[in-house]
Structure 1
């Protein structure tokens, strides 16, 4: 099984071309990700900011030396909940040809374990409302859809 051969680690700058290609495959996300050389400095800048943060990390899943999946994990301390820490899983992506092979579940298990290690009181994840198959996947992973989120684009 592919899942067993996958290893998860913190992303490195040299992973950026493979990460960008992974994001670029997401035609439904609409995030404007592109491997065009004019955009590369934007990714480099963002990567360094995230990589230097104590509360944000990008992880990759590697298979046979290739980056095949990724996610970002951020930690938010709130005053509400007696100063509790929340883990926020963001930007979960698995390469199209490797979906439904257990890699995404392995990513989520890793993220939840890391949130527990950091003593988070909860971990949350969001997805687009029109992606019903993703909702089923997250529910299978033990997440519940008990909140409705809103967002406002600023750019």
Structure 2
């Protein structure tokens, strides 16, 4: 994997990122790759926020993976800053190659280097393969999550 680069997503990467987000049964219901307008606006907000890191994994000229790392400063845990990993996706051609592990390792190492004391993530209850993947990387299913659609 020496030809792999993990870097911040650029405006020109957004179509590929959205395609990755939409390339599974859950994402196909939530994403609209035909209209990039809201995604480009979101990218602009993310790029302007130092607590947000929308990353892509690029092999050659092709975006083959993506993830978002968010920092949340807080009062709990003695004023700790926690990192949240979201939107991890790996292109179908790359699954099983170790790319997902590389992305998560990058996120954990970066969060640690930036002073975070906890890394957390959520995964849809239906993504049992992802749950096993995260557990293999040392994550523990310690909490129950709740969402309220607005």
- The TM-score range, normalised by the shorter chain, is over 0.9
Asked whether the 8 Å contact 2:64–2:91 carries over to 1, the reply is yes
Deviates more, 1:59-68 or 1:21-30: 21-30
Distance (whole Å) between structure 2 residues aligned to residue 130 and residue 114 of structure 1: 28
User: Cα offset for 1:40?
Assistant: 1.4
| 1:59 matches 2:36 | no
TM-score by length of 2: 0.95
User: Any unmatched runs of 5+ in structure 1?
Assistant: none
| 1:106 matches 2:106 | no
Partner of 1:85: 81
Distance (whole Å) between structure 2 residues aligned to residue 22 and residue 126 of structure 1: 18
Asked whether the 8 Å contact 2:22–2:28 carries over to 1, the reply is no
Partner of 1:24: 22
Distance (whole Å) between structure 2 residues aligned to residue 17 and residue 65 of structure 1: 14
Q: How does 1:1-150 map to 2 (within 5 A)?
A: 3-29=1-27, 32-36=30-34, 39-150=35-146
TM-score by length of 1: 0.92
User: Any unmatched runs of 5+ in structure 2?
Assistant: none
User: Cα offset for 1:32?
Assistant: 2.1
Higher relative contact order (CA 8 A, sep 6+): 1
Following TM superposition, the consecutive aligned residue runs of length 4 or more in structure 1 with deviations greater than 6 angstroms are: none
Distance (whole Å) between structure 2 residues aligned to residue 30 and residue 86 of structure 1: 29
RMSD: 1.2
